[in-house]
Structure 1
Amino acid sequence: MRHVIALDVGGTGMKAALVGADGTLLHQARRATERERGADAVVESILGFAAELRAWGEEHLGEPAVAAGVAVPGVVDEANGIALFAANLGWRDVPMRALLSERLGTVPVALGHDVRTGGLGEGRLGAGKDADRFLFLPLGTGIAGAIGIDGRIEPGAHGSAGEIGHVVVRPGGIDCGCGQRGCLERYASASAVTLAWQDACGDPTATAADCAKAVDAGDPRAVRVWQDAVDALADGLVMALTLLDPRTLIIGGGLAEAGETLFTPLRAAVAERVTFQSLPRIVPAVLGDSAGCLGAGLLAWDLLDHTAATGSSEVTA
């Protein structure tokens, strides 16, 4: 059965799949990145995992993968296939596409940014499949975004389009690792809510999910923490609406697992803030942690289509 290899590399673990041409997940697997062993060991883990997936496909599906797609965190040069920098994995300037292609036997390889790749999956196969323009926003440890336009994800001129987590929503506010103060992800990410709720309730083991449960139970401390996050998120989203005019906002990540505890006040807060902007649909992501693998598979299939159309395996963003 014709298929591609898809790898979604995270800070602590990797999700992988063999993906059919129709987006079917034919085989799935997980593995630790082993980042505690250093950047070189992480790269070797990725290469070895990909080789095992290729072997599995040959044995169980009757043929090797025809291409591979890999999504990685950090700063990514998608056009040249280089993982430029990832603080949580410790690497710089890794020629990931060339290394994977060599390990897999000259199989064509597409490289993508993890959030943009997840947005590609969610946009084509998930909550955004009927939207010509959307913004995909996973609320996890941090916040980043993927801008979807007519079935593709906009990388930007320098590969950093969609970094809405570093839009300043509270000038002079909390220090951010990017060097600014008051960034959106310091107020509305799952990790930000976790820290705020721990401070409010005095429990150092409490999580954002615990805060959401306390909101549902009517705890006024939790309601204040939650509303502060929702207000900051709404401010950031209205800024995005003004610049991008998406038809759909797709919210994913850990904070979105709170369901209507998040979406009901968020929709209201955004509606209160818009003036001339058109109000988009605000919907939860539906693919969960499969979005990255599915997106990586789509990258690989797109690469094959591009190669067939142009006769070249080089792709540009």
Structure 2
Amino acid sequence: MSAIVNRWCAVGLVVGVDVGGTATKAVLVDGDRVLAHASKPTPKPGPDVVPEVVDLVADLVAELDPAGTADVGVVVPGIVDEARGVAVWSENLGWLDVPFAALLTDRLGRATGFGHDVRAGGLAESTAGGGRGARDSLFLPIGTGIAAALVLGGRVHDAGGYAGEIGHVDVGHGEPCACGRHGCLEAIASASAIARRYAARTGTPTEAVDVARLLAEQDADARRVWDDAVQALAVALAWTASVLAPEVVVVGGGLSAAGDLLLRPLDEALRERLTFQRRPRLVAAELGGLAGCRGAALLAAKRSASC
């Protein structure tokens, strides 16, 4: 991916779409201004999920750009090969080797920028969010799953689509993961894992945001589940700091809404695990849940103009 610049591409209207594990979000932007946004539930995994997702993207684009004049960028989760326009694999959405760029271009009737959701979010946060001004940064959205975007030397590092899978490193617990292994960071520290583990302890179905609220109310089960997640995140960030030495870690995704309930203990746990290594600043993402969408818009803009 091309070097990041600290400004948005001025190429007129752009629609950016972020296909998430539970919701698909889209924005209509003009430069750095968000003019409109929309969201719809992402189809559940199944034999028809790919055409359903393509149709959903087309519906959102038509809703935001009925005149059909905007450039379009779309980002998806999993392993993504941007150069070929292929979604190589997604465990959460159940697809394998899908030529999404070609399918979207055919369905939308116009060339479509295509990329990875987290790397696009990292691009957006590095350009105009919590990571701006840093040469080396890590974007860490914590939501249905956990992945990371690496910005090294001012460039988004993709390694053919395989970089950033921090959610599937073993952080030393016994929980099973959807990838088929045990001990993965995602299986204990994602928002969905926090909700699942709290429900397993208490018998009360809930969401991660509710666990954060209960934590503030001194709920013992919420404290245990939250502490497990924080320690697992600290393990992953400690080796990341040792190997890559990012200046800043931008924490995004739904769990970032917990603010200091997450960032403060995570910073303390990370401090305890580092000695001479550069300790990254931990900051909340500034673009919120629209980081992926805005990154998708950047991809479309970069496709249409030299920035």
TM range (shorter): 0.7 to 0.9
Q: Which runs of 4+ in 1 moved over 6 A?
A: none
Q: After the TM superposition, which residues 39-78 of structure 1 pair with which residues of structure 2 at under 5 Å, given as runs?
A: 39-56=50-67, 64-65=69-70, 67-78=71-82
Alignment-derived partner of residue 169 in structure 1: 171
Alignment-derived partner of residue 12 in structure 2: 2
Residues 9 and 271 of structure 1: is their aligned pair in 2 closer, same or farther, counting only changes over 3 Å? same
Kept in 1: contact 2:78–2:90 (CA 8 A): yes
CA distance in 2, matches of 1:91, 1:184: 22
Cα drift, residue 293 of structure 1:
1.0
Query: Which deviates the most, 22-31 or 235-244?
Result: 22-31
CA distance in 2, matches of 1:159, 1:25: 28
Kept in 2: contact 1:184–1:233 (CA 8 A): yes
Identity of aligned residues (%): 46
Aligned length in residues? 295
Kept in 1: contact 2:91–2:179 (CA 8 A): no
CA distance in 1, matches of 2:210, 2:40: 28
Q: Which amino acid aligns with 1:266?
A: L
CA distance in 2, matches of 1:92, 1:227: 35
CA distance in 1, matches of 2:154, 2:111: 22
CA distance in 1, matches of 2:184, 2:89: 21
* TM-score of the pair, normalised by structure 1: 0.85
* TM-score of the pair, normalised by structure 2: 0.87
Which 5+ residue runs of structure 2 have no aligned equivalent? 1-10
Kept in 2: contact 1:124–1:151 (CA 8 A): no
Alignment-derived partner of residue 192 in structure 1: 193
Q: Which amino acid aligns with 1:144?
A: A
Residues 9 and 40 of structure 1: is their aligned pair in 2 closer, same or farther, counting only changes over 3 Å? same
Cα drift, residue 186 of structure 1:
1.6
Q: Which amino acid aligns with 1:207?
A: E
Alignment-derived partner of residue 311 in structure 1: none
- Other structure's SS at 1:55 match: coil
Measured against aligned partners, the alpha-carbon deviations of 1:108-156 in whole angstroms (never above 9, x if no partner) come to 3221111111111122111111211110111112211011135432111
Alignment-derived partner of residue 162 in structure 2: 160
Q: After the TM superposition, which residues 23-172 of structure 1 pair with which residues of structure 2 at under 5 Å, given as runs?
A: 23-35=32-44, 38-56=49-67, 64-65=69-70, 67-105=71-109, 107-156=110-159, 158-170=160-172
RMSD of aligned alpha carbons? 2.2
Kept in 1: contact 2:37–2:64 (CA 8 A): no
Residues 161 and 108 of structure 1: is their aligned pair in 2 closer, same or farther, counting only changes over 3 Å? same
Q: Which amino acid aligns with 2:89?
A: F
CA distance in 2, matches of 1:7, 1:86: 17
- Other structure's SS at 1:298 match: helix
- Other structure's SS at 1:169 match: coil
CA distance in 2, matches of 1:27, 1:215: 35
Q: Which of the two has higher C-alpha Rg?
A: 1
Which 5+ residue runs of structure 1 have no aligned equivalent? 59-63, 309-317
Kept in 2: contact 1:249–1:280 (CA 8 A): yes
Match of 1:18 among 12, 16, 28: 28
Cα drift, residue 16 of structure 1:
1.4
- Other structure's SS at 2:161 match: coil
